[in-house]
Structure 1
């Protein structure tokens, strides 16, 4: 009973909270808000439409008044022309010519009287005056009440026209505006006097009324009107001299003057509403010669246009209002139906609170009416059903989980044991500290790593286990900040003591824990052993400066040491020396005994160097078989002695691999600093050149760089080309050109010579003449040979693909090709890779290169010919002693040197020599090619000599692939 009363009390107390706020249906809120929005939209649309119509109306009226202004100017102009024509015909009227010439006033008056009536009534002329050439008035008709100023003004005009004999057309405004024409009277080319003719603007105003349909009037400035002047506009201080539709127009002008000043009416078009009509008024000033202000006023009725604008705006507003009403009705209908369904859901929701899940779902099923299309209310119904199912499941789960609480307690204890075991097995040191920085606990891994037990470290300050050189004060300060809650974590690395006397490098992470007393854990410290990482890091740092094979400095560290040595030499004026050498025939040892033998030899050389040089000297392996030694504070003689000592010790070194003994020798280049170079680049280049000079003297020797033999220029050239060649090899800057070789007898081109070019970074195409010598000196010639073989064979395969007639190619080989053991394997592999017919390839060698190593050349040429390739002997005929060797070399074609061909037309000796060379070559069964064929005359001589092939600029210039074989598909590697 008590519970029931309490429940009712709560209900009673809660009820007023709901009743305090008035209920407004959601549909009324939506309808009201949408009504306001739609009303604002309709109102905005009406305003925009009105402004657009008014703007368009004003623009049209401006155009209309511009047209009025042009019409007024045109009418006045025609009026002026009219009276000027009247003045021109006066001398031709009956008797007027003779009267004017006689200058007889009576005769002029008598003769012109018979014409005045016609001019006055028919042409509207107001007055006419005649003046003689002495500017004297001879006769006048019409208006005579002009004041003295006006008469004086007309007199001045007469004098001006008499003097200039040029007519003028002034406008004279007084009580009215009269357009004047003052023109000379010409009789038989002579001036017989002056005619002054005046006409009012009345005809022009009436004509404007007929043309435009607007009323027009003439206003004259009159600040002091007389009583007789009833048509006076006081506000503008003007009198109405003429006005169409005078009664109505005068009332409009009076109303306008009360609202607008005359200045406003002059500047703008003003609009006035009079008697429910809309009129626009615009003043146009007239220029009067007597300084009287005169205006033409145009009054146009714009009532139909204004009414049309108002009608359009009312129609737009009415349509918008109807749309608003219809939209609101539709919205109200839609929301009424939707909210009724939503209300059904809200009435059934209390069933969920009482746990009546089945009744809740049944009620929803009854109230939910099926729709053709689903909407958000249907989604709400589905969500409510799902919610009831989930609440029912949760209620069942709560009851079932209550039974499992005891089981969970057991599981929690097991989890606690698992965590404790996990801390012991984790591969990190885990210890806790109290607020005083003393160790409270440590896991088993920490005991294993430091060899300290937890008991031994308990109550020991954490800082005691770190090495003494660590900044313990700063660390202690940071740990205090963690204890005080000023920071949450701290990371640092420190060397940690172990019980056995060793140390470990540990990365520590300290995190703050909540604590209540001084004995509770305050800081959790986790340490990761990074001793091995630090060891590897130190080894990597060592590798950055050393060659791992020989333990000597590498090129990077050597360059730094050499730069420092040069700097010290410059500062303290102590000379030094640089030894640069590489091993002779090192590649042969690698090829014959394997790379392991080469590595063993390099280690032996490194050990010998360390035993031979001084402790202050710096030795390094720069790469491959190249070594260098820095000799600080040494003179020329001392550097030479060190070089001799190195050569002597190398000659004593022997390497025996697989019962094969290799002796070691080297070529040493010596450069002094700062004498031979003031920077690392120049000094290494000088030593490098000196080393190649030593090789040229026969290897196993030393050579001191000399300035007297202009070696510095050679160094610069050699270094320049070496860098350029290395860059070109690395970035594929070498390209192939093709020069056609024509059959002299048939004129066909089925053969091309492959020529090497270097595409420089500045876009220039460089020929081999500039860089082959440098490539030979720097040992890069073999790389160029290999590149030419690769590109030439690949392009030959591409060119001959799907071609009916096969094209042959001649590929140039360098003089060093016969010393390259890799040449033959590369040719074999490339022929297989690109499926090239060996018969389409021929290799060109110079006569001088073949004779330098005749046995080697003959052996290599024989092996290449066994593959199916041919040979061309280039520069044939330079030395006649080589005729004997023509029989010894397996060549297919000889190419006569161009020096014999260029001047063969004019030089009989060259003709004899070429005939002899052809006889010898053909006697051995060789084909003959002549180069440097530069014109048709040379070709005709060669054809008589029965030479087989011709090559030169007359046949075709060397060109890249895309120009020589443009008919083929574009080639890309």
Structure 2
């Protein structure tokens, strides 16, 4: 009896208390499952709500970015319209003469006729005219009567008078006026300044029509009228607003919630009269930039209400599912736990070692089931428990061995990942939350010559070359740390330990971290140094001739255009030398293209040694070269041309025991005297070059007043382009004029006539292009073409055996000076 009491005492000591309130297992399971399901419902509602809000915020960010672009576009459109109106002022009837004579009365009289149309139709607020001495000539409309504003406008007028470039400032006082300060150009020279102002009201209304949002203009000007709406907490006046009264009330409500207007620089959302509104501030870039802002108010009530309704619907559905699930769980567990209770009442026999009684009691309480379940398995497991206790130690040891094997597998996987990072041909490093390097792979050590230990605890930005983007990069990396963005791509010059640098393309990705010492950012860098080198070489090829390293035609034309512009602005004359090599084709044909290439390189080198450092040379194609001589007189240009001819005469090319002497024909054109644009100047120099060829080659020729006929130049250029196109695309065709023998009445002889097939299909006679071909030196190419075609056609007809014919071929008088003509005739006759 004492032993039984002692055992009960031990049991009570293990249980902790003598009597505890009993709570059925089914109620515990039901309560716990209810809490879990309720937590799941709440979590799902929270996640859904956060997802909808995040998506809503992202869409609004995109929308306000679009608003910003639309505002800038509308203001730019106003500026462009004002500039166009300013450009038309000198073309008004009589205005040119009035501006040239600075006749204020005449200017007032002429422009007064157009002021009403500009004011009422185009919305122009005011117009002012200033002369070249920055003096006010005339004005219309009502400008801001503010002396400081007049000084500002006058300063802009001085700037435009000096730079001759229009500007589009924005001036805000009681309202915002978009200004255009533009030069009045007459014959390419500034004869005065026009200042035109227009209110931003039309732009605000246009924005309202496009976006559907309310927009207003806020000013800090203390000189506003008493009728202007005022928001006291922000010390701001509403100069203009769409839907003014309601918008004013919304802003007043926002001012009670946000003491500083700077809060509106980010998107804020308020609830006003059960409606949700979002407000965003857009600063204006005006003279007094801190005094003027645009504010946009968007009604987002329907979207917010939809989000709330969606969340309530999700919550109600979740709660309904929770109630139904609880009822089902309670019914299921009631039946199952009644069987489990029988097992629990029998288990104390097992703990006391009465294994036979335990098995007998289980057999008595076990009920027959149609399908076996876990409780049946519990019955069987309890019966076998005494036997399985003997095997327990063996099973524990087996499980321990299995855990060891799993640990070895995980260790191998970890080593594989480490080796993979070390063998990857990219830099892989990790940073902590403070942007300091934690680890770096072996490839990174090899590329930068830094060891991982040397870079540990070093800020990542310290290994990059500082530039103007460094501050932005620091901000973006901080955004990754704070979870505001997941990835960042950029390129940067990276320091190496040996003093060299590498161009690396970096990809930064956010890692989950728990403490400031854990990795926060994974940075992967790809070395693109070689790619950048190739890219730079391709950019060089876009502007240069790869054979001679001189500028190509495109870049040379750009440089010539800039030189003409500088010459016009600073009133300094310049010169253009245009020349090609005499008998270059003969050198190519007799000694090969390698000889021609070598000759071109020699000429390019000679040019660079002959001209000044500020002069610009280029190869325009084939054997054509050109030189720009800025700030030089006519005599100086002629001396440079003579020097080039002298150095060319001293140049000799020896190939395969054959020596070729070099000469050229140089055309000289002075700008802006002989041309005010690239096309006219090149045409004049080209014409002068052919005039030099006509004088006997190896000479120079200055474009003279007798050659100034624009029609003549344009005609020569027009036909030269057509002839070159026809030679390239085989558009020359031969007509055969039959010649009859009067005695026999037979036709066995033909005269070969030349025609050109135009791009529109029409046939052009030689009367139009032969003269231009002779003048431009292309006549030799036409002679050669006619010879080859005629001989080939005669051979084809005679070889057929049906007819025996002969041709008469007309050649130009220049053929007698063509050293290539006789070799071509011999070669063609031999070939056919």
Q: TM-score, normalised by structure 2?
A: 0.48
User: Radius of gyration: which is bigger?
Assistant: 1
Give TM-score, length-normalised by structure 1. 0.41
